[in-house]
């Protein structure tokens, strides 16, 4: 295409390049990068939604367990001490089961907040100090010991409300993000010339982003105390590389 520039009564022909191959390549690379970030974000959001469900199940199970032991004591079928021992042990077992179901990012955060559940003896001392400013071994009153054991039973059925509320909020936001992401994918498919190919590509990139984020996050768990940092970074890098790789080879 030729344009003309009038300058001091001179006509100077210049050529303007249309559809520069390098510009087109840069544009494709940029779009691929953005789309890959979108799908790795989807994968991380899915982890949050899943972990909120696991957390809800855990919260319901410990509440049911605690109420069951308390009712057994009130019915005269066991003592507060017996109930407290079983409640603390059961709570720790349910915690382990819950973490076995939790996906990498949530697991790294959970371990950072609490590496393991407290043992029965530690709980006795904790609540003896809270209630009577004393060590449990120093208390001789059965009434006081019953109060301590009763609190262990009750607290065994209570989860960390701050964690519950934050995870719930994150889960709701994650659902909104994924809905928006799916809308973008639907638009890409709708505007594509080959809709079947576009559908397969969108689905493959989404699956790759999720699988990559899971694998990268799992690798980050090997960092030990630094896992709370390594896991999110590993999840992002793993998901991005997987989604970007699918997009690259699909071309």
pLDDT tens per residue, range 58-104: 999 999 999 999 999 999 999 999 999 999 999 999 999 999 999 99
Q: pLDDT tens digits, residue range 202-242?
A: 999 999 999 999 999 999 999 988 999 999 999 999 999 99
In this structure, the dihedral spanned by the alpha carbons of residues 150, 151, 153 and 158, taken in order and rounded to 10 degrees, is 150
Q: How many CA atoms lie within 13 A of 184 on its CB side?
A: 15
Domain ranges (residues) in the chain = 50-161
State the average pLDDT for the chain: 91
Residue 142: its H or E element: helix 142-155
- Distance, CA of 45 to CA of 66 (rounded, Å): 32
pLDDT score of 171: 96
pTM: 0.86
User: In the structure, what pLDDT confidence band is assigned to residue 18 with cuts at 50, 70 and 90?
Assistant: low
Could you tell me which residue, 76 or 17, shows the higher pLDDT?
76
Residues 44, 150: Cα–Cα separation, whole Å: 40
Positions of E strands within the chain: 2-7, 10-15
State whether residue 8 is helix, strand or coil.
coil
Q: Would the pLDDT of 169 be above 90?
A: yes
Q: Residues 40, 213: contact at Cβ < 8 Å?
A: yes
Task: Report whether 231 contacts 105 (CB < 8 A).
Answer: yes
Are the C-beta atoms of residues 57 and 149 closer than 8 Å to each other? no
Cα 52 from chain centroid (whole Å): 8
Give tens-digit pLDDT for 108-154. Answer: 999 999 989 999 999 999 999 999 999 998 998 999 999 999 999 99
Report pLDDT for 71. 97
Helix-, strand-, coil-residue percentages of the chain, each rounded to 5: 80, 5, 15
Please report the pLDDT score of residue 25 as a whole number: 77
Residue that the structure tokens 């809270």 belong to: 130
């Amino acid at each position: 295409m030729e344009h003309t520039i009038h300058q001091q009564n001179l006509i100077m022909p210049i050529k303007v390049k249309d559809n520069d191959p390098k510009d087109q390549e840069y544009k494709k690379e940029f779009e691929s990068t953005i789309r890959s970030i979108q799908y790795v974000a989807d994968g991380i959001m899915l982890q949050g939604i899943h972990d909120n469900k696991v957390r809800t199940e855990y919260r319901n199970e410990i509440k049911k367990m605690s109420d069951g032991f308390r009712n057994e004591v009130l019915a005269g079928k066991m003592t507060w001490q017996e109930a407290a021992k079983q409640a603390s042990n059961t709570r720790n077992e349910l915690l382990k089961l819950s973490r076995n179901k939790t996906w990498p990012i949530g697991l790294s955060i959970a371990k950072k907040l609490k590496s393991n559940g407290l043992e029965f003896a530690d709980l006795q001392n904790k609540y003896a100090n809270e209630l009577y400013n004393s060590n449990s071994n120093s208390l001789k009153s059965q009434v006081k010991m019953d109060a301590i054991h009763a609190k262990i039973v009750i607290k065994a059925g209570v989860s960390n409300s701050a964690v519950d509320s934050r995870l719930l909020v994150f889960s709701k936001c994650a659902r909104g993000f994924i809905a928006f992401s799916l809308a973008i994918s639907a638009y890409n498919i709708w505007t594509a010339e080959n809709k079947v190919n576009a559908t397969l590509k969108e689905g493959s990139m989404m699956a790759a982003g999720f699988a990559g984020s899971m694998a990268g996050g799992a690798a980050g768990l090997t960092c030990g105390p630094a896992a709370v940092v390594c896991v999110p970074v590993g999840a992002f890098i793993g998901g991005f590389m997987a989604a970007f790789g699918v997009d690259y080879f699909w071309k």
